[in-house]
């Protein structure tokens, strides 16, 4: 049985849980990270020297970095609908998965300030800058979806949508002023309809 280490509040843990759900994989999840077992625990650091969640243990295979874990699971289980085998098609999926890091970086400060109410994220100028760049990137995504779609990297749902979709959900639910982005909203609703999204899409949002 797969072992997944990480609290469900983490967006990066939820990528892995959502991927397992899409593939139909059973797993045992353990709560590690903020509010749970500390990532400085030597048993955890032995698995991930960077002391971050998620970690996946699949027999003798131990992996960290959420996007890499999602790709591993899709490839191992032959889900080339989620991660194509063709090099160019696969790279298109990976491109959007990599780009999601930019979304994370852009929105992180605003998310911690306005959703998590973190006392360490109270600088109004930094909140405003984070909101501005988060909105700007989401507006760009809206433009891409309006011109193409219905999904990001292919005619069908792929890992690109799973990963970017979690950030789109974070953007939609974190309270700050947002432009109207109809193509993005239609895309988010498309993702929300997936049973796996209902289970893992927004829980905790951390």
Point out which residues bind ligand GSH (CB under 6 A): 10-12, 33-34, 39, 52-54, 65-67
Q: Given the complex with ligand GSH, which of 39 and 145 has the nearer CB atom?
A: 39
Is the Cα dihedral 59, 89, 185, 135 positive or negative? positive
- The set of long-range contacts for 97-100, using a CB threshold of 8 Å and a minimum separation of 24, is 97/67, 97/70, 97/71, 97/159, 97/160, 97/163, 97/164, 98/67, 99/164, 100/67, 100/163, 100/164, 100/166, 100/167
Q: Given the complex with ligand GSH, which of 30 and 65 has the nearer CB atom?
A: 65
Task: Yes or no: say if 157 and 151 are a contact pair by the CB < 8 Å rule.
Answer: yes
Least separation in angstroms between CB 186 and ligand GSH: 27
Q: Given the complex with ligand GSH, which of 65 and 80 has the nearer CB atom?
A: 65
Residue-wise DSSP of 74-96: HHHTT-TTTS-SSHHHHHHHHHH
Least separation in angstroms between CB 131 and ligand GSH: 20
Least separation in angstroms between CB 206 and ligand GSH: 7
CA distance 122 to 4: 33
Q: Given the complex with ligand GSH, which of 13 and 137 has the nearer CB atom?
A: 13
Q: Given the complex with ligand GSH, which of 39 and 106 has the nearer CB atom?
A: 39
Least separation in angstroms between CB 155 and ligand GSH: 27
Q: φ, ψ for residue 33 (rounded to 5)?
A: 105, -170
Q: What is the CA radius of gyration of the chain?
A: 17
Least separation in angstroms between CB 51 and ligand GSH: 7
Q: Which tokens sit at 92?
A: 């298109």
Least separation in angstroms between CB 10 and ligand GSH: 4
CA distance 23 to 93: 17
Q: Given the complex with ligand GSH, which of 102 and 128 has the nearer CB atom?
A: 102
Q: Which tokens sit at 179?
A: 């432009």
């Amino acid at each position: 049985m797969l072992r997944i280490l990480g609290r469900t509040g983490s967006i990066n843990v939820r990528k892995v849980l959502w991927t397992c759900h899409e593939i139909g994989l059973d797993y045992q999840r353990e709560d590690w990270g903020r509010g749970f077992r500390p990532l400085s625990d030597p048993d955890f650091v032995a698995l991930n020297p960077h002391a971050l969640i998620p970690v996946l243990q699949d027999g003798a295979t131990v992996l960290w970095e959420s996007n890499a874990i999602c790709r591993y699971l899709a490839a191992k289980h032959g889900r080339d609908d989620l991660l194509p085998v063709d090099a160019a098609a696969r790279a298109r999926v990976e491109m959007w998965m990599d780009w999601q890091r930019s979304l994370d970086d852009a929105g992180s400060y605003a998310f911690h300030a306005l959703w998590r109410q973190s006392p360490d994220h109270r600088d109004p100028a930094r909140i405003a800058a984070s909101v501005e760049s988060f909105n700007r990137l989401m507006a760009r995504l809206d433009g891409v979806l309006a011109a193409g779609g219905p999904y990001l990297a292919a005619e069908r749902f792929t890992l690109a949508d799973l990963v970017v979709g979690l950030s789109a959900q974070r953007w939609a639910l974190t309270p700050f002023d947002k432009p109207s982005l109809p193509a993005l909203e239609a895309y988010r609703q498309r993702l929300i309809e997936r049973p796996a999204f209902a289970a893992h899409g927004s829980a905790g949002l951390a």
